[in-house]
Amino acid sequence: MIPSITIDELLTYSNINIIDIRNIQSYNNNHINNSINIPFSKLMIDYAKYLDKDKKYFIYCQKGISSTKICKLLISNGYKVVNIIGGYEEWILKKK
């Protein structure tokens, strides 16, 4: 099972590592506050280059599908990750 949180839950946290796995154009257009961009394709190829096993990461994509896939991979390799349910689209809905 993949640890997951809703956008409402995410908004209660502070000082966390949020990773946007969408492409750079999508990220530059808009993103969840305080997130960093590491595109899905880069994480799939070389996640050890970007992530530290001693840290916990909250990961999102556009809708939550790709972030679920990358979370499965990362968990199976010993990383602490949490999937953000609904991704960026859910965040936009909650912002209104």
d(CA 14, CA 91) in angstroms, rounded, equals 16
Residue boundaries of the structural domains of the chain: 4-95
pLDDT value of position 96: 61
pLDDT, residue 1, reads: 87
> Against a cut of 0.75, is the pTM above it?
yes
- Residues 39 and 8: their CA atoms lie apart, in Å, by 24
Domain 4-95 has CATH 3.40.250.10: yes
Q: pLDDT at position 44, please? A: 94
Mean pLDDT of 7-24: 96
CA distance 32 to 13: 13
Q: Given 43, 59, 61, 74, which residue is catalytic?
A: 61
Tell me: pLDDT of 89 over 70: yes
Over the stretch 19-70, which tens digit does the pLDDT of each residue have?
A: 999 999 999 999 999 999 999 999 999 999 999 999 999 999 999 999 999 9
Is 61 an annotated catalytic residue?
A: yes
Residues 6+ apart with CB under 8 A from 46: none
Q: Is the pLDDT of residue 16 over 70?
A: yes
What pLDDT score does 95 carry? Answer: 77
List the one residue out of 30, 46, 78 whose CA is nearest residue 38: 46
How many CB atoms are located within 10 Å of the residue 49 CB? 9
